[in-house]
Amino acid sequence: MGFFQKVVSVVQVPGARGMCTVGADFLTKDVIIDDKEVTIQIWDTAGQERFQSLGVAFYRGADCCVLVFDVTNPKSFDSLESWKDEFLIQSSPSDPDAFPFVVLGNKVDEKEKRRVSAAKAEAFCGSKISYFETSAKQATNVNAAFEEIARKAMQHEIKQEQM
C-alpha cells in the first residue's frame, strides 16, 4: 500500500477521498491554503516499475511531483533519482530545472529500523526540493507536507498560466 493510500485509508486524513484505478490509485485531498480550499489530485503509482510505462498518462499536466521513500529501505531512497528523471522525461515540463518536487521520507516512526538518515535525504534534496520526514502510520508531518505540495503546485500553475 502506497504512502498516500495509507494516509487516506489508515490515518483517515480529514477531507481525503480515494478510488482505485488501473496502474495507480487516484486520490484527492482538500487542503486550506491562505484561507482558500484547494483540492490536490494525486496519482499514486506506489513506486512500482511495472507502471512506469503508464507515466505519460499520469504525469502530463502535473503541477508538482511527490517522491516518497521508506527510511528503513535504502533501495527505495536510491531509486529517487531514477524516479525523478523518469517523471521529467514522461511529463516533459516546459522548464525541467524549475519543476517543483517534494520528497517525503516515510516510516520515521520506526526509529530502530531506520537506514537512511535525514542528512542524506536533505543532501539529495539540496535547496530546490522540499523534504519532510513523515509517518503515514502516526500522521507525522502529513498535513505540513500536503500544505507544501499544494503551495508548490499552485505556484507552478500560476507560473504556467503566465507563460
Q: Which three cell numbers stand for residue 62?
A: 502535473
Closest CA to 133 of 115, 147, 121, 151: 121
> If you classify domain 3-162 with CATH, what class do you get?
alpha beta
Which distant-in-sequence residues (6+ apart) come within 8 Å of 146 by Cβ?
13, 29, 31, 40
* pLDDT score at 13: 40
* pLDDT score at 4: 60
pTM for the predicted model, two decimal places: 0.84
Closest CA to 23 of 48, 56, 59, 60: 48
CB 40 within 8 A of CB 149: yes
| 25-33/36-44 β-pairing | antiparallel
Break the chain into its structural domains and give their ranges. 3-162
Closest CA to 114 of 77, 73, 148, 86: 73
Residue 112: half-sphere exposure toward Cβ, Cα within 13 Å? 0
* pLDDT score at 24: 66
Q: Which three cell numbers stand for residue 76?
A: 527505495
Q: Any idea what the Cα angle at residue 55 is, between residues 53 and 61, rounded to 5°?
A: 155
Per-residue pLDDT of the chain (163 residues; tens, 9 = 90+): 566 655 543 333 444 444 444 556 778 888 899 898 888 888 777 666 655 565 667 788 899 999 999 999 999 999 999 999 989 998 999 999 999 999 999 999 999 999 999 999 999 999 999 999 999 999 899 999 999 999 999 999 999 888 7
Q: Which three cell numbers stand for residue 20?
A: 482505485
